[in-house]
Amino acid sequence: PPSCLLWSVYGALLLLLSSADRGEGQNPDHVLQGTGVKPEARRPGDGPTIAPEDLPRSLSCYCSGHCPDDAINNTCQTNGQCFAIIEQDEHGEVQLTSGCMKYEGSHFQCKDSPNAQTRRTIECCNTDLCNRDLQPTLPPLAPTGNRSPHWLAFLISMTVCCCTLICVTVQPGKLERPSKTSFLHPQVQRTIAKQIQMVRQIGKGRYGEVWLGRWRGEKVAVKVFFTREEASWFRETEIYQTVLMRHENILGFIAADIKGTGAFTQLFLITDYHENGSLYDFLKLTTLDTQALLRLAYSAACGLCHLHTEIYGTQGKPAIAHRDLKSKNILIKKNGSCCIADLGLAVKFNSDTNEVDIPLSTRVGTRRYMAPEVLDESLNKNHFQAYIMADMYSFGLIVWEMTRRCVTGGIVEDYQLPYYDMVPSDPSYEDMLEVVCVKGLRPTVSNRWNSDECLRAMLKLMSECWAHNPASRLTILRVKKTLAKMVESQDIKI
């Protein structure tokens, strides 16, 4: 909006004026979001936390100019630090204010005065009412130096861009999704989470529950994790916020938040809502034609291919293995394509360090979909490619589920889970090990598949995905290319 752009330009000009008084090598200041101590000076127990505002407020501070609504007699409570700040505004007036400051991750760390903005100094302390005696002094004016016009132009340009982005993000009434390479600021995520109205529960699993929510009239999905699943929540949030993670065939992440303390902690993950539900739900109710089958399979392959692929460069993305692929963890979009969800068990690999980043979660994958090397525990946990190939086995089973529901010659099979006729409804490790590894069996296929060109090709594809030897399995890139050729030959628009 024009007004927003004006504010952006105004902000850039103010920053330009302040930069003229700032010495080289000093960071842009954001001390009002800090705690004011060096890392070694933190109070015991103040490790990095995810939602520190929910910790008990055990410190009393004097406040003046920064008093919260619940302050009593110029005294506020915090779980972070007390601070006092002296600053000079653009008119040359000097103000001394004080108050409470939360400790909230790396965004809320108070700077030491040598690195603070030239005409502002902040001092922090961590005993009751200690900031009443703090008397920070303004540092001397730094020489302006010969600042390059190109630097100033760059500074203005970047500020206008950032301010405009912020304005667009917080437009009322519309939930802006993060871009492909960036995500909403944690405070914006927290604001969205607090404003969501829970409508009804739409799913439940080992990790917790899924609710339909509304944010300013727009539907969103809210995944509420059980307290014991904090590691899964943390890993899934971390994976979703990986640079370049966003893809049309991976569930769209919006925000994450954590509420409560002690035994009653609620962990929220807010994503796009897809009313068709999971692939499991969809296939139980819907039969497919060839076009719908290929759309589902190809789009799922595209999502998994994006996960598995490492993107190199400064704005790169690590390779990621899912480790819990199944039809219940794939959602169906309105256009009939798939998006992959539930990344709480995902494993990351960065070729620069050659390290496999395994989540802390004690959760394991779904037994029915476990690859032979997972069941017999022969998988090399230090070799990332092993996780990738285990995903490919699971993907083959999912393609089998899809193919059963494709109608040819007026014939179609009922929906069933893989190995439905070989193991109990809730199979044990021993059940799956016996069928998959000892007997070497794979899901039953229908004779009709061999009489249809498309289904015959799908059978070949899934068979090469679920091969016993991981090294013999297709990669997801090869699967994607094969399906792309089938889509092209059928003249299907994806």
User: What is the set of active-site residues?
Assistant: 324
Are 215 and 192 contacting, i.e. CB atoms less than 8 angstroms apart?
A: yes
Q: What is the DSSP string of 246-266?
A: --TTBPPEEEEEEEEETTEEE
- For the chain, what is the radius of gyration of the CA atoms? 28
Provide CB contacts within 8 A for 130, sequence distance 6+: 61, 82
Residue linked to tokens 């296929």: 445
Buried b (16+ CB within 10 A) or exposed e, 174-196: ebeebeeeebbebebbbebbeeb
Buried b (16+ CB within 10 A) or exposed e, 19-56: beebeeeeeebebbebbbbeeeebeeebeeebbbbbbe
The one-letter code for the residue type at 326 is K
Helices first, then strands: H and E counts in the chain: 11, 16
SS (H, E, C) 119-181: CEEEEEECCCCHHHHCCCCCCCCCCCCCCCHHHHHHHHHHHHHHHHHHHHHCCCCCCCCCCCC
